[in-house]
């Protein structure tokens, strides 16, 4: 299998328990790419060990005057051909190898993204955004290097080492080979000791980079707040400190990686000195020719690459292991909201809630308790209540961002827990109080759920959300970029763009979570009138502190400390004289004073 696995299969594939298991599984699935790269490396190794032997034969021929000019030219041509073949095979194995290794990076990033989309908000409260971004970049890059360059460099170095030692021992002189290999056990011990230090410092470097990344992300997201409070200097000082810590940790890892080169140099220098001493004695005795000693010296020089490869491989493997230790727990963490519902389609209808109860982890009282509601399809439900009464919690339970502690939620012919999350959330249009806009044009943000929507459909949704006139005053109209998180728009404009996005999606259930809080009363009235006129079979739940947004709802519930304290139509609630009536009178008085 030489092609990338379908993205849908990545989430269901068991997660390997270690970096080596991960790489082994990937090599098995990309066996063609790795086999062809290994075959080219084998050819390179055979040519590399043949060249010194050929050079030694040429030297002996020149010394003994046995080689004619034509014979010498032919032998040199063979060396040039071998060099050209080595060049092209080195290019070829790199193309095969790195193309395969990049596929692993794509798979891991897809798997990480899939996993993140399944987690509930509590997961992101415990995992910093910058840390997750660092995992998707630096950590996976380190694993890519371990699966690509480290794997093939290890294979190439090992193959070259075996071939060179075999030629030194069997093809030249076993006594010289034995003397030359004496320092290598000490080098292996030093490599093991250095690798352990690299692992510790690589993990620390990745953690420090994640800290710096998180601060940069937070600072850029909250840049207007930092400017408003005059905190740019303090933020810059913290960034400088975090960048220094990341640099120091990375430098410490690099220092230990640099220790490989002196270990290799000392080992080969000692091996060369021993070889020349022993070889000189054998040449003086007439037991070894000068050409043979020359070939052996070239073989010894070829030992440089396997030794450097060993250090490079160990360094990449330790970096990859440190990255996998950070990434694996996130990939293994099971979502709190199970996405195992058997149904991928259903018929929306009446929304029925029976005995609904929810308590946040670590809390001593329920956020919602004994909630019973019956909302026929195509009707509008208004939800009111003081801050902390449980209004947003109710919507998050409908979205299955939270799992109820007790009770049932039914929609049409299905329970919400029977539906796949993609099916459920695809049938709901949700507009939170603080909507998120992407760094794209106004049109792209409105058409987020329906990218194929025509300009006319996008404009129609914008008119319903009372944002069209504002858009036409932008420099480029609907093509105007809104900036990161919609930074160039006002709060009310962001809310109305989000409402237009939800209306264009035309979902059978629309949830407005205080989504009109940043617009004026006249704009709110126009938007609600448009919703009534175009409601058709769409069920709407409106949560609002501003009771004018609820007065035309078919049914209104008032939540108090997580329980339904009042319910009914607007007129009945005003006449009842409870919290709703008091709040209505207060808001009407406040509106009158503002108008005056």
Q: What is the pLDDT of residues 484-495, one digit of tens each?
A: 767 778 888 888
340 found inside a domain: no
Residue 548 burial by Cβ neighbours in a 10 Å radius (0-12, 13-18, 19+): middle
Whether residue 295 sits in one domain with residue 226:
yes
pLDDT at residue 8, rounded to an integer: 40
The answer on 289 and 199 residing in a single domain is yes
pLDDT value, residue 559: 92
pLDDT at 553 over 50: yes
Same domain (yes/no): 48, 196? yes
Is 523 in contact with 466 (CB distance < 8 Å)? yes
Residues 455, 309: one domain? no
Domain limits for position 576: 351-595
Note whether 494 and 516 are within 8 A (CB): no
Q: Per-residue pLDDT for 262 more than 60?
A: yes
**Looking at 332, 361, 379, which one is the last position of a domain?**
332
| Angstrom distance (rounded) from CA 5 to CA 2 | 9
Q: How many domains does the chain have?
A: 2
In 3D space, the residue among 388, 367, 385 whose CA is nearest the CA of residue 579 turns out to be 385
Q: Looking at residue 53, what is its pLDDT?
A: 66
In this prediction, residue 2 carries a pLDDT of 39
Q: What local confidence, expressed as pLDDT, does residue 10 receive?
A: 46
> Is 50 exceeded by the pLDDT of residue 6?
no
CA 314 – CA 263 distance, rounded (Å): 14
Summarize the confidence of residues 42-49 as an average pLDDT.
Answer: 76
- Overall average pLDDT of the 11-31 stretch: 74
Domain identity same for 465 and 496: yes
* pLDDT tens string 337-375: 877 888 888 888 889 999 999 988 878 888 999 999 999
Q: What is the pLDDT of residue 80?
A: 83
Residue 493 within a domain:
yes
Does some domain include residue 4? no
- CATH number of the domain where residue 535 is located: 3.40.50.300
Nearest-10 crossing angle of helices 304-332, 184-221:
40
Predicted pLDDT of residue 381: 92
Establish if 346 belongs to a structural domain: no
CA dist list (Å): 47 to 292, 389, 528: 18, 78, 79
Q: How do residues 280-308 score in pLDDT, each as one tens digit? A: 777 777 766 666 676 677 777 667 667 77
Q: Identify whether 2 is part of a domain.
A: no
Nearest to 464 by CA among 420, 418, 495, 496: 496
For residues 315 and 359, membership in a common domain is answered with: no
pLDDT at 176: 74
Give dist(CA 200, CA 215) in Å, integer: 23
CA angle, 223 then 225 then 230, to 5°: 95
Contact present, 560 and 581 (Cβ < 8 Å): no
Provide the pLDDT for residue 449. Answer: 84
Is the pLDDT higher at 128 or at 451?
A: 451
Angle at 104 between CA 103 and CA 107, to 5 degrees: 90
Q: What CATH code is carried by the domain that includes residue 233?
A: 1.20.1560.10
Q: Of residues 7 and 527, which shows the higher confidence score?
A: 527
pLDDT tens sequence across 190-211 = 777 777 777 778 778 878 877 8
| Domain match, 304 and 355 both | no
Is residue 162, in this structure, part of any structural domain at all?
A: yes
- pLDDT, tens digit (0-9, with 9 covering 90-100), for 313-325: 877 888 888 888 8
Which of these ranges, 356-360, 379-383, 411-415, has the smallest mean pLDDT? 411-415
Tokens of 484: 């990161």
Q: What is the pLDDT of residue 60?
A: 65
More confident residue, 504 or 75: 504
Shared domain check, 369 and 325: no
For the chain, the average pLDDT equals 80
Which residues are CB-neighbours of 566 under 8 A, at least 6 positions away?
A: 556, 557, 558, 573, 576, 578, 579, 580
With a cut of 70, say whether residue 12 has pLDDT above it: no
pLDDT for the residue 9: 46
Instruction: Let me know if residue 553 belongs to a domain.
Output: yes
Residue 5 has pLDDT above 50, yes or no: no
Same structural domain, 359 and 457: yes
What's residue 567's pLDDT? 92
Coil/strand/helix, residue 140:
helix
Kindly state whether residues 275 and 369 are assigned to the same domain. no
- Report the distance separating Cα 369 and Cα 562, nearest Å: 6
Last residue of a domain, one of 302, 332, 362: 332
Q: Are residues 311 and 460 in the same domain?
A: no
Over 50: is that where the pLDDT of 527 sits? yes
The pLDDT value recorded for residue 332 is 83
pLDDT of 558 higher than 90: yes
The predicted structure's pLDDT at residue 302: 67
pTM higher than 0.75 for the full model? Answer: no
Final residue of a domain: which of 277, 300, 332? 332
Q: Are residues 82 and 178 in the same domain?
A: yes
Sign of the Cα pseudo-torsion (55, 61, 63, 67, in order): negative
Is residue 244 one of the residues assigned to a domain?
yes
pLDDT confidence of residue 555: 92
């Amino acid at each position: 299998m030489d092609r990338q696995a379908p993205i849908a299969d990545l989430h269901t594939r068991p997660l390997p328990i270690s970096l080596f298991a991960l790489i082994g599984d990937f090599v098995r699935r990309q066996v063609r790419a790795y086999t062809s790269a290994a075959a080219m490396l084998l050819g390179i190794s055979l040519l590399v060990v043949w060249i010194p032997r050929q050079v030694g034969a040429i030297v002996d021929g020149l010394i003994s005057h046995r080689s004619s000019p034509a014979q010498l030219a032919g032998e040199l041509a063979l060396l040039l051909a071998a060099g050209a073949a080595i060049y092209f095979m080195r290019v070829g194995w790199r193309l095969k190898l790195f193309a395969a290794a990049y596929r692993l990076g794509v798979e891991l990033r897809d798997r990480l993204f899939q996993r993140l989309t399944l987690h509930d908000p509590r997961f992101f409260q415990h995992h910093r955004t910058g840390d997750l971004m660092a995992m998707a970049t630096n950590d996976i890059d380190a694993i890519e290097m371990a699966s690509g360059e480290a794997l093939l460099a290890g294979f190439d170095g090992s193959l070259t080492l075996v071939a060179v030692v075999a030629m030194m021992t069997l093809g030249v002189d076993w006594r010289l080979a034995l003397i030359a290999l004496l320092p290598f056990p000490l080098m292996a011990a030093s490599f093991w000791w250095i690798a352990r230090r690299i692992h510790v410092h690589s993990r620390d470097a990745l953690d420090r980079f994640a800290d710096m990344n998180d601060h940069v992300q937070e600072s850029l997201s909250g840049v207007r707040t930092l400017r408003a409070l005059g905190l740019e200097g303090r933020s810059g000082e913290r960034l400088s400190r975090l960048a220094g810590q990341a640099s120091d940790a990375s430098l410490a890892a690099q220092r230990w990686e640099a220790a490989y080169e002196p270990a290799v140099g000392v080992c080969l220098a000692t091996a060369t000195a021993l070889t020349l001493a022993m070889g000189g004695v054998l040449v003086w005795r007439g037991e070894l020719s000068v050409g043979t000693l020359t070939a052996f010296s070239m073989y010894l020089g070829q030992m440089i690459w396997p030794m450097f490869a060993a250090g490079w491989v160990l360094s990449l493997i330790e970096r990859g292991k440190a990255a996998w230790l950070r990434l694996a727990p996130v990939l293994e963490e099971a979502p709190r909201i199970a996405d195992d519902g058997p149904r991928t389609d259903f018929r929306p209808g009446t929304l029925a809630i029976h005995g609904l109860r929810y308590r946040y982890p670590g809390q001593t009282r329920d956020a919602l308790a004994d909630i019973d509601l019956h909302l026929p399809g195509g009707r509008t439900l208004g939800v009111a209540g003081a801050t902390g009464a449980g209004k947003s919690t109710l919507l998050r339970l409908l979205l299955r961002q939270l799992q109820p502690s007790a009770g049932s939620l039914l929609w049409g012919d299905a329970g919400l827990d029977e539906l796949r999350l993609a099916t459920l959330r695809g049938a709901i249009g949700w507009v939170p109080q603080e909507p998120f806009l992407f760094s794209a044009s106004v049109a792209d943000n409105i058409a987020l759920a329906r990218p194929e929507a025509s300009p006319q459909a996008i404009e129609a949704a914008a008119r319903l959300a009372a944002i069209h006139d504002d858009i036409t005053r932008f420099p480029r109209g609907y093509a105007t970029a809104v900036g990161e998180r919609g930074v160039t728009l006002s709060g009310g404009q962001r809310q109305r763009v989000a409402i237009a996005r939800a209306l264009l999606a035309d979902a059978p259930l629309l949830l407005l979570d205080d989504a009109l809080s940043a617009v004026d009363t006249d704009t709110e009235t126009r938007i609600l009138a448009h919703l009534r006129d175009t409601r058709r079979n769409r069920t709407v739940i409106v949560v609002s502190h501003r009771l004018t947004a609820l007065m035309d709802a078919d049914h209104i519930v008032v939540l108090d400390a997580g329980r339904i304290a009042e319910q009914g139509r607007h007129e009945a609630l005003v006449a009842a004289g409870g919290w709703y009536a008091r709040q209505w009178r207060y808001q009407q008085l406040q509106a009158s004073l503002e108008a005056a």
